[in-house]
Structures are given as C-alpha cells and as structure tokens.
Amino acid sequence: MSVTDFFVPRSLDEALSLLAERGSDLLVMGGGTVMMRMVNDGLLFPRQAMSLRRAGLDGVRSANNRVEIGATTSIARLSQLDAVPLLAQAARLFGGPAIRHMATVGGNLFVPQPAGDMAVPLLALDAEVELASVKKRRRARLDAFLAGQSARADDELLTAIHVPVAAGRSAYLRMGRREANTPSIVAVAVRVLTAKDGTCTEARIALGAARLYAMRASQAEAALVGRRLDASSIDEAAQMAMGECDPFTDALASAWYRRKMVGVHVRRALEQVVN
Amino acid sequence: MATITVTFQLNGKTTALAVEPLTTLRTALREHLHLHATKAGCGQGGCGSCTVLVDGEPILSCLLPVALVEGQSVTTLEGIGGPGELHPLQAAFYDHFAAQCGYCTSGMILAAKALLDRNPTPSREEIMEALSGNLCRCTGYLPIIEAIEDAARQMEAVV
Amino acid sequence: MKQLGIVGQSVKRRDGVGHVTGQTQYVDDVFYPNMLWLQMVRSPVARGKIRRIDTSRAEAMPGVAAVITAQDVPNNWYTILCLIGIEPNDEPVLAHEEVMYEGEPICAVVAETEDIAREAAAQILLDLDIEEQPPVLDVEYAIRPEAPAIKKWGNNTFMYDGMNHRRLRFGDVEAGFAQADYIVEGTYQLSPIEHAPIETHVCVVKPEPDGRLTVHTNTQALYFTMDNTAIILKVPSNRLRMIGGTVGGGFGGKVDVITEPITCIAAMKTRRPVKWRWSREEEFRYSSTRAAVKMEYKDGVMKDGRIVARKVRSLQDAGAYHRHSPYGVQKHMANLPGPYNIPNVWVDAYCVYTNRQPSSAMRGFGVTEASFAIEVQMDRIARTIGMDPWEIRLINAYRNGQMRPVRKIVEDATLVETLQAAAQLVGHELPEHLRAMSSDDYHGRDER
C-alpha cells in the first residue's frame, strides 16, 4: 500500500481545489522537512501528498507599511530580508544551510515547539496569518492561530503572513544543545518602543519552547511599559516571564532548565536592545 | 504501483526517471540511478550525508521528493570529479586526511563547493557556518576545515 | 640506526581517493537483483510478557514475502562472549516469551520494498499483545533485595565466581583510612553514550546455489560475527562467506552480532537476497551504547600527597543483556585503582542488569570511564590537600618493580616520563624534585 499520488499544483486555486476534493486524506507539505522525515521513519504512511512549493506562494512584497510574506517563502530568503531585521536574524539562526533552503516560514508555523522557531519573532512583530479555502479568505492574529483559537480548518491553506513594518528596537536569541541545526532549548524575541525620555511605551516578549506553542509573556511586557529599561526593570520582566511560561521536559532539556533559560535569555535580549 | 516521471539535469546530463510518487531524491540517486556517493546516514535531515546541490544550492536529498527537481539541475559528488581528475576540494580532502570512514565526505565536499562557488574567499567562521548542517563522527572537523581553506586558496590561485 | 621506510613518514590513505570521489563501497551500496527488504518489529515497552504475536494481517499485505519469528531461529540465543566462556545464554535473537527492553527485536518482516516492510511491521506492532510489567530502570534499585529479579538466575547482576560483583582486595583499606591525614570522597557517573556513526547498521545476505550464504556486513568484527552467526544458524562456519570492508564508523558499536543472523534466516527462508538497514532512530534508541556507570571513590591521603588507601564501588548498567558487559566490568574493576601505587585497595564492581538498551563495547569501554573518575578524583585530592595536580600524580604514579592491586609487578612503566614530557610540551615548569623522578626510582622489592 504505497503512495498513489503526489501533487505539485502550480497555483493556489489548483492547490485549494485538490484540498477541497481530498480533504484530510491529503498530506500537505510546505518545504517537507518535517513531513518527509516522518514518512522516512515510518511514522506516517500517506497515500496522497501535495507539495505547495510551486504554487506561487513564495515571495515577499512590501506595501502600505506592511510586509506580506508568502507562506512557502524559504527561511533562506527570510535570512536576507533587510526590511524585517528581527525576522532575518531569527532566520539566520534556523537549522543549517540546507534546511534553510528547504524549509518554509508558513510550514514552520505548523511545527510544534521546540522546533517551531519562526513563530517567535513573528509574534513579537504582531504578525497576522492569512488562510484561504475555495470558499473564502480570512486573516487571524498569529497568537490566536497558534493557541488553536483560530486554527486552520481542514479545507484551508495558510497562504501568507502579514507583518506590519516594525517600529522599535528588537533582538532575537535562541539556545540549543549545539550552535546550529538543533531544536531550541529556548528562543526569545523582544521588541521595545520607547518615548523620547526613554520610557517604554510598548513591549513585546515572545518565547519559543517555553510552552507547547510559541507564546507572548504578556505580564512581563506589561511590567516594562511606563518604565525605563534598566537593570531593575529588565530583571523584573525576566522574572515575570519565568513565572508565566509553562515549559515541558523532553530529550533536550528539562522544564526546570527551560524555565531558568527563559529568565536568562529574556534578560540578555532586553539588555541587547538597550545597548 | 503508481509511478510519476521526472526529468532533470543530473551532473550536466538530461535524465528522465519513472519512480513511485513520493520517492526521495536520495533514493532516486542511489537506487534508481546507481550513484552511491550520496549517503543515507539518517532520514531526518540531521546528518547532512545526503547533501547534493540543486541549482547550486545545498539540499538534503533525503527530505526532497524527486518530483520537485523537475526541470532543475542536480549535482552529486560524482559530477564534480573522479579518480585521476579530482576537483580541488577532493584533492584537498585527500591531502589533509579529511576523510576517515568516508561516510560524511560527499556531503561535506558538496556543502563546501556550494560555499566556495558563491564566496571564493571564506573566513574560517564562514566555512564552519557552511558546514553546520553536516556531521562527522571521525575527524573532529579540523582536517575538513583545513582542507577547505586549502582548496579555496588553490582555486583562487588558478583564477 | 636503520633507515626506516614508512615509520615517520606521512602516508596517504589507501582508501582516500575512493572516499573523496564517492567510490568506496559500503554495505548499503550493495544491491542484488530480486532483493527483498527487512524491517524489524520491536518491543514498545521496557519489560513485559508477550501474550500474542499476530502476523496474519501483515502477511496478507501485498508485497510481503515472509515474516521471521523466534520459531525460525535454529539456535535462538545470542551470547557473543560464549566464545570466552560467559554464560548462561540470556539474550534471544528474537523474543518470544518476554521482552526486556524497549526496542527488543520480536519478529521481522521481509517485503518487496522497504516501505512495504515498514508498513507491515507497523501493523504487527499494532496487533501485538504484550502484558506490561514494571521495569527496573535504576542500577541502585536493581541491586536491592526487594527489586524484582529480571534475570532468570534470580537477581539483577552478573555472577562472578558465585558473587554478585567482581572484587579486588589488596592490603587493608580500613587500616589505610585510619592512618590517613585526609579522607577524600567523590562520586562520578556517566549516562549511556551512543556511538552515532554516520553509517547505521546494514547487512545484505544472498543465498548461493551451493547452499552457502554470502553475507555483506559492516561489522567491525568479522570473525566474531561469522562464529556467532554459525552458532545461531547451527551451520558449520564454512557455509558462510563473509564480506566485510569499509565501515562507516564503528567505535565499538558494530561489534555485536545483531543484523547478520536474522538477515541470513530471511535469505534462507525466501531463497532471495535480503537487505536490512537500520534507521537513525533504531541506531540511537536500540543499538548498543557505552554503559552508564556510577563510580564511588573514597581515598585516604597523607599530608605529603601519598594515597595510602582507595575504596571504589562501581555499578555498571549492562542494560537488558550480557553483550560485552561481563568482560567489560572485569576490565573496569582492574582499572579502577588507576596507574598509581596505592598499598591498600578495595574494589567492588557490579555488572547490573536493567530493562534498558543493552550496553556493550565503545572505545576503551570499562577503562575510559574509570580514567575519567580517577583523574577528576586526583584533582579533587590535590585541591583538598593544597597540592599541585602535577605533583600529586608524579608522587603516586606507579614505578617499575611495584606490586599492583591485581597482583602483577609493574614493568615498562612510563607514566612519570610521560607526565614530565607533557609538562614540557605545555610549557609548565616542574620543580626540580619532580623533574628528577623516574619510573625506575623505586628501590624496594615487592613480592608477588
């Protein structure tokens, strides 16, 4: 009982029609770096599969203070995206060179933590996802999408990610057991806007591998607003982030250690933004 | 068994294959085309021993359905040189003892070639970064890095 | 001095060109026409009783040529060290009554493609009926009287001459501790270490028309493999034509005889060539590892730096089966005192069985771990008594003519000279009295 069909649609419409026809029997792949591994290891036995790599969903467009990133844009392409430095920084630390050419930003949004790195900077950037079916298109906030409140319906495909042109200063850090090509022990993206007098007016602290899905440390963010970023406020934010995350234990790290590393890396990321 | 056909450039020659739909590029190369330089060290994208070049970029052939190289150009280790006419990278790996068991060698050389083709004078950090998706369990990496530095010098000297 | 032709020269590897051009042949590069592929069904639990193995749905799948179970194995025991008298047989080639570690091989599917074999194996796994039992996963717990005995001889240790550990007794440690100025203790432990060669285990067997079997294997130990395979198949070893060659990384991980017997049986049963190659997941989770070990040191040390007493308790985690561990622990025991002259030594070294991935050979197994513990302990001693770490080693390094705890007189010692040379190489200036030392400066006479 082998695979009967592998589709490589040349347009979004073609992809959506195939999906509407075949539903959840159809294994959908972006770059395929996660799905093909599961097929290779005998964890999945698909009968039909579809790759979105030629469906015209890659590419980056800037317009009206937003950057629209096609869902199948490769991580390698993002690593060169000067228009969104936080994203480029995260992309450069993603996987290894070959993986970056193959993996797609949209596909990575479906990868569970601790390997779903790209959600982290995108959360800090207030990104929205665009989903389409043969019937309609819609947008959803990324945090709602990740938390499952606005998840992909069976007949939908993620087509694009919309990122407002980011104000403020940002930083991204990730920690793994190795320097490259390894899932995260923890990933942190921060973005801070300050008024002329140096007080913080807005803060974003996004965490990866600190919960089952990428999350914002909203209490830590709130603790910074209205204050100057100094050793004391940064330390408080780091402590709050440690408290509000809900890390898991896996082969890479214990929950205890992940929680500690959230604190260390939130502090370091905020210090980077200040300096 | 269902089959699909795929046509692509392989080491400079037009190649057509009929394979099962989700066959990976690695399986196509090793089992259908009998080119064994590309290795099957894992199937997870973790070791890099299956690295080949697709349109000049390093790709993990264990994770790529061969259907997706339709119309593209694929380069394997066999395509860059052979006994008696070694590519400078192959010669440098040989001279510097950069291969012990030899299983990571194909992936390492092609990852290095992708680097040198776009950056002929890489720093040591850039070399290490380019190899960061390739594992070696034997050499400790240093002979590999030195071989690549040497090959880069040789290739620049010829230009 | 005679002119040397090769020694002292840099000689290029004979396989160098093959490696850099991709022409070196490995076992996975071996293909035969009409070849079948094998995949193993493995225990999903660490310990349990097998109630039922149902292969019917798998056998009905198109493309499945055969299923190999314990009944197909002529002599269903793998005991690699039977060749040096280690007993009793404890590891079945294929499990049939019980499983002792997660990943233990139960039965094998042989099919037209690797994908079909994998899917059929997944089906058998779904249909498998195993009654799970509480596993023993910790070595300290395993040796307690209340722990369930997972080995059939009634406890969880290898029995050495009727005792549940290997022991070394030399002098009187308690007297040594009483006389010592300092007592220095340390516990050192290792988790299991996986070799992770880039090439996984692969075996190809082709049945020959004359009844022989041609066996391509990436074993590091071709003769071990031939002998053990012949024992398992109950055939004379001249029935086996073994072809080894380039191993894509071994490090001790390819010295057990795990793939060849089953692949041979599959080739014999189907009368076709069969290939079995392990996934990376199998290699990581189910292939043998270096043993986890816990070593507890208690040393009695004099003010002048001499170690006068050393007591060591070591628990090595053999995992579910013997493999190389009974031999490894024996070697380990002999090495635990270290290359130092200590007049009073007591060692208890246990080879403990748990429901974990069996450990086996890896790069100096038994010895490397001991060296780690010994040298960290030496540094700890140096810090405790306020002595330079070079000095503590040079004072205690064994000399020619001294008796070692294993009751051998030291001969050809070079530890002192090696330490001196190392100090010079790293630019560390040793004081005169340490530079004056030599391996021949012991003038006593130790009796055997």
Mark whether B70 and B114 lie in a shared domain: no
Mark whether B72 and B96 lie in a shared domain: no
CB pair distance less than 8 Å for C119 and A42: yes
Q: How far is B3 from chain C (nearest CA, A)?
A: 15
Mark whether B66 and B131 lie in a shared domain: no
Mark whether B23 and B60 lie in a shared domain: yes
pTM (two decimals): 0.95
Q: What is the average pLDDT value for chain A, to the nearest integer?
A: 96
Q: Does B130 touch chain A (CB under 8 A)?
A: yes
- pLDDT above 90 coverage of chain A, percent: 95
Q: How far is B58 from chain A (nearest CA, A)?
A: 5
Strand partners, A204: A191
d(CA C194, CA C357) in angstroms, rounded, equals: 11
Q: Any idea which residue has 């005998």 for tokens?
A: A42
**Interface partners of B (3+ CB pairs, < 8 Å)?**
A, C
d(CA A209, CA C441) in angstroms, rounded, equals: 60
What would the two tokens of residue C313 be?
């308790």
CB pair distance less than 8 Å for A181 and B59: no
Cβ distance A118 to A90 under 8 Å? yes
What is the distance, to the nearest Å, from the Cα of residue C176 to the centroid of all Cα atoms in its chain?
A: 34
Question: Which chain C residue lies closest to A3 (C-alpha atoms)?
Answer: C115
pLDDT number for residue A275: 85
**Taking an 8 Å Cβ-Cβ cutoff, which residues of chain B contact chain C?**
30-31, 34-44, 46-47, 49, 76-78, 81-83, 86, 90-91, 93-95, 97, 99, 101-106, 109, 135-138
How many Cα atoms occupy the beta-carbon half-sphere of A99 within 13 Å?
28
Query: What would the pLDDT profile of A103-142 be if each residue is shown by its tens digit?
Result: 999 999 999 999 999 999 999 999 999 999 999 999 999 9
Question: Which chain A residue lies closest to B3 (C-alpha atoms)?
Answer: A4
Selection from C334, C28, C441 nearest residue C199 by Cα = C28
Q: Among B137, B138, B144, B148, pick the best mutation site for testing chain C contact (most C Cβ within 10 A).
A: B137
Q: Using CB atoms, which residue from A2, A41, A45 is nearest to C281?
A: A41
Question: Which chain A residue lies closest to C58 (C-alpha atoms)?
Answer: A1
pLDDT number for residue A118: 98
Instruction: Tell me which residue range forms the domain holding B145.
Output: 88-158
In chain A, what residues touch C121 (CB-CB under 8 Å)? 42
Question: Which chain A residue lies closest to B24 (C-alpha atoms)?
Answer: A36
Mark whether B72 and B132 lie in a shared domain: no
CB pair distance less than 8 Å for B103 and C26: yes
DSSP line for C236-289: -GGGEEEE----S--TTTT-S--SHHHHHHHHHHHTS-EEEE--HHHHHHTS-B
Instruction: Provide the 10 A C-beta neighbour count for residue C391.
Output: 17
| Strand C292-301, strand C182-190: pairing | antiparallel
Mark whether B101 and B124 lie in a shared domain: yes
Q: Using CB atoms, which residue from A37, A96, A180 is nearest to B63?
A: A37
Q: Which residues of chain B have pLDDT under 70?
A: 159
Q: Using CB atoms, which residue from B41, B47, B83 is nearest to C21?
A: B83
Cβ distance C294 to C329 under 8 Å? no
d(CA A11, CA C53) in angstroms, rounded, equals: 48
Q: How many helices (H) and strands (E) does chain A have?
A: 11, 12
Q: Any idea which residue has 């400066």 for tokens?
A: C441
Selection from C332, C348, C329, C343 nearest residue C398 by Cα = C343
pLDDT(A255) > 90: yes
pLDDT(A1) > 70: no
Mark whether B74 and B103 lie in a shared domain: no
CB pair distance less than 8 Å for B49 and C280: no
d(CA A37, CA A32) in angstroms, rounded, equals: 8
- Alpha-helix runs per DSSP H in B33-136: 88-95, 105-118, 124-130
pLDDT(A206) > 90: yes
Q: Among A41, A181, A252, pick the best mutation site for testing chain C contact (most C Cβ within 10 A).
A: A41
Last residue of a domain, one of B25, B53, B79: B79
Backbone CA torsion sign across C229, C232, C236, C239: negative
Q: Using CB atoms, which residue from A1, A41, A45 is nearest to C279?
A: A41
Reply yes or no: is the peptide bond before residue B58 cis, omega within 30 of 0: no
DSSP line for C26-76: -GGG---TT-EEEEEEE-SSSSEEEEE---HHHHHSTTEEEEE-GGG-TT-
Q: Among B3, B36, B93, pick the best mutation site for testing chain C contact (most C Cβ within 10 A).
A: B36
d(CA B129, CA B125) in angstroms, rounded, equals: 6
d(CA C40, CA C74) in angstroms, rounded, equals: 18
Mark whether B152 and B93 lie in a shared domain: yes
How many Cβ contacts (< 8 angstroms) between chains A and B?
A: 92
Q: Among B101, B131, B141, pick the best mutation site for testing chain C contact (most C Cβ within 10 A).
A: B101
Question: Which chain A residue lies closest to C282 (C-alpha atoms)?
Answer: A41
Q: Among B51, B63, B134, pick the best mutation site for testing chain A contact (most A Cβ within 10 A).
A: B63
Query: What would the pLDDT profile of C101-156 be if each residue is shown by its tens digit?
Result: 999 999 999 999 999 999 999 999 999 999 999 999 999 999 999 999 999 999 99
Mark whether B65 and B119 lie in a shared domain: no
Q: Using CB atoms, which residue from B22, B45, B132 is nearest to A3?
A: B22
Order of strands, sheet of C292-301, starting from the edge strand that comes earlier in the sequence: C166-170, C345-353, C307-319, C292-301, C182-190
d(CA C393, CA C200) in angstroms, rounded, equals: 41
Cβ distance C361 to C252 under 8 Å? yes
Reply yes or no: is the peptide bond before residue A114 cis, omega within 30 of 0: yes
Q: Using CB atoms, which residue from C22, C199, C246 is nearest to B41?
A: C199
CB pair distance less than 8 Å for B132 and A97: yes
In chain B, what residues touch C23 (CB-CB under 8 Å)? 37, 82-83
Spell out the SS3 assignment of C340-401: ECCCCEEEEEEEEECCCCCECCCCCCCCHHHHHHHHHHHHHHHHHHCCCHHHHHHHHECCCC
Query: What would the pLDDT profile of C264-299 be if each residue is shown by its tens digit?
Result: 999 999 999 999 999 999 999 999 999 999 999 999
Q: How far is B131 from chain C (nearest CA, A)?
A: 15
Q: Among C13, C198, C275, C281, pick the best mutation site for testing chain B contact (most B Cβ within 10 A).
A: C198
What would the two tokens of residue A171 be?
């930083």
Mark whether B117 and B62 lie in a shared domain: no
Last residue of a domain, one of B45, B79, B113: B79
Question: Which chain B residue lies closest to C198 (C-alpha atoms)?
Answer: B41
DSSP line for C412-436: S--HHHHHHHHHHHTTPPPPHHHHT
Question: Which chain B residue lies closest to C199 (C-alpha atoms)?
Answer: B41
In chain A, what residues touch B56 (CB-CB under 8 Å)? none
Last residue of a domain, one of B79, B113, B134: B79
Radius of gyration (C-alpha) of chain A in whole angstroms = 19
The interface predicted TM-score of the complex, written ipTM, equals 0.97
Strand partners, C204: C216, C275
Q: Count the domains in chain B.
A: 2
Order of strands, sheet of A169-176, starting from the edge strand that comes earlier in the sequence: A169-176, A184-194, A200-208, A215-216
Strand partners, C312: C297, C347
d(CA C187, CA C177) in angstroms, rounded, equals: 18
pLDDT number for residue C446: 80
Q: Any idea which residue has 């002979």 for tokens?
A: B143
Q: Does A40 touch chain B (CB under 8 A)?
A: yes
Question: pLDDT by residue for chain C (448 residues), tens digit each?
Answer: 678 888 989 999 999 999 999 999 999 999 999 999 999 999 999 999 999 999 999 999 999 999 999 999 999 999 999 878 888 999 999 999 999 999 999 999 999 999 999 999 999 999 999 999 999 999 999 999 999 999 999 999 999 999 999 999 999 999 999 999 999 999 999 999 999 999 999 999 999 999 999 999 999 999 999 999 999 999 999 999 999 989 999 999 999 999 999 999 999 999 999 999 999 999 999 999 999 999 999 999 999 999 999 999 999 999 999 999 999 999 999 999 999 999 999 999 999 999 999 999 999 999 999 999 999 999 999 999 999 999 999 999 999 999 999 999 999 999 999 999 999 999 999 999 999 999 999 988 787 6
d(CA A10, CA A6) in angstroms, rounded, equals: 13
pLDDT number for residue C5: 86
How many Cα atoms occupy the beta-carbon half-sphere of A242 within 13 Å?
17
Domains of chain A: 5-51 (3.30.43.10), 60-164 (3.30.465.10), 169-274 (3.30.390.50)
Q: How far is A48 from chain C (nearest CA, A)?
A: 15
Cβ distance C192 to C365 under 8 Å? no
d(CA C23, CA A254) in angstroms, rounded, equals: 44
Domain with residue B140: its CATH number is 1.10.150.120
Please report, as a single letter, which amino acid is at residue C49: K
pLDDT number for residue C1: 63
Backbone CA torsion sign across A77, A78, A79, A81: positive
- Alpha-helix runs per DSSP H in B32-123: 88-95, 105-118
Q: 55-74 in C: which are within 8 Å (CB) of A?
A: 61-62
User: Mapping DSSP to helix (H, G, I), strand (E, B) and coil, where does residue A222 land?
Assistant: helix
**Interface partners of C (3+ CB pairs, < 8 Å)?**
A, B
Mark whether B8 and B74 lie in a shared domain: yes
d(CA A274, CA A170) in angstroms, rounded, equals: 9
Query: What would the pLDDT profile of A167-194 be if each residue is shown by its tens digit?
Result: 899 999 999 999 899 999 999 999 999 9
CB pair distance less than 8 Å for A36 and B62: yes
Kindly compute the dihedral angle of the four CA atoms of residues B148, B149, B152, B153, in this order, to the nearest 10 degrees: -140
